[in-house]
Amino acid sequence: MANNLFKIDRTALPSDTKKAIGAEKPENFALLFNRMGHFAKKEELRQELEIDKLLSQEIKFHFFHKTRDSKIKQDYLLDLTTEWSLSGAQKERYKKFNNEYAKAIQSLCPSIESFLLKAEWRIALGMGNASVYENGFTFHPTYGMPYLPGSSLKGMTRHWAKAEGKDKEGTDYLKIFGNEQDGDKDFQQGQIIFFDALPVALEEKMVQPDIMNNHYPDYYEGNKPPADWLSPRPIFFLTMKGVSFQFHLGYIPGAEEEQNKQLLKTAKEWLENALKEAGVGAKTAVGYGRIRGEDDEYIPPEEPEEKREPQFKEGRTKKFKNGDKFEAVVTKPGRPATATVYGYEDKKHPNIQIAGRTNTLKVEDIIRVTIQAGKQGKIISSASLDGIIS
């Protein structure tokens, strides 16, 4: 996402940790949000807000800023995200990861139910998590993308089913969810596994800030009577907007396979109803967290084609000559573009400007270039585009 203001110096990390990380920006948003709180001093904050009323302390952690350009629509942009303008190669890698995740689930369970559902609007998940930003959010702790934990899906489905009166003795409720050992009740393990639901694809602006406005803060704090001239005090939190999720349910292997398959279908029906009628996450009473059905049927995972790797040339002791041809990987598109040229043997030459019709190139495209040599053939000074390999 544009306007990324993250700076390592504005985190509360120990000095030795800051030094170890250096100027690099971690790409894992879970780390940025949960472990690398970003703060600004009052005099350094630049935004079109009443600072004294926004900040209650001299230093406050924040994850947003407001655009200042009066010619464009004012919008709140995330501070902490790495740029979400994802390349085609990055999206392909995530697609491959999602396919591998689905295949792993298939290998664990004798039978699964998989389906796609899309959020009608925004989802606010994990607002009660401990956070320096007042309101938390749920990111996958390992991969960093927003997701719906399987434990949350199971809990909300169980709550919905109980509210619908499906928790009677001898019904599917006990077989699906199980129970805890309590007094004279025997423990019974639930037969259905609710797996984490991951976004179908990584998209720009899939995580967006939202706002709650306390319109009479001074009145509620007992300082002043209610009045129209009291200024609101905005409270910011993160949401997912319009994201499609891939859901998976499976059952524990057992002797009664046909019964478990029927339980699986029942669990899928209950989960879909719970998502559509009750919603997931916080603020469901005001429209957050509602899920609707997808028009597209679930597509089983396919093995994506292996991406071709750029090739080096043989000849470690060779000098470069004008007109030599090599393969390269685009690191920055545009005119001119910038690429890493794969030279002789295992030697890479980064930050080489590429001339020619480079306006269609994307980051991580593999290209063929003709080089211009410099310093008596010891370096590559520039290159021109011959064609796109992959």
Enumerate domains of the chain plus CATH numbers. 8-84+206-235 (no CATH), 88-203+239-293 (3.30.70), 325-388 (2.40.50)
Backbone phi, psi, residue 337, to 5°: -90, 170
Task: Using alpha carbons, select from 123, 85, 385, 68 the residue that is nearest to residue 238.
Answer: 123
Give just the sign of the alpha carbon dihedral 363, 364, 369, 373: positive
> Which H/E stretch holds residue 198?
strand 198-199
CA distance 53 to 216: 12
Residue carrying the six token digits 């470690």: 316
Q: What does pLDDT average to over the chain?
A: 76
Count Cβ atoms within 10 A of the Cβ of residue 267 and give its class: 0-12 exposed, 13-18 middle, 19 or more buried: buried
What would the mean pLDDT of 44-65 be, rounded to a whole number? 49
Residue that wins the pLDDT comparison between 129 and 370: 370
CA distance 156 to 159: 5
Residue that wins the pLDDT comparison between 94 and 198: 198
> 388: which strand partners?
367
When mean pLDDT is compared across 12-21, 31-40, 171-180, 339-348, the lowest value belongs to 31-40
For 197, the token pair is 């639901």
Question: How does residue 255 score in pLDDT terms, banded at 50, 70 and 90?
Answer: low
CA distance 143 to 180: 32
**Does residue 334 register a pLDDT over 50?**
yes
Question: How does residue 88 score in pLDDT terms, banded at 50, 70 and 90?
Answer: low
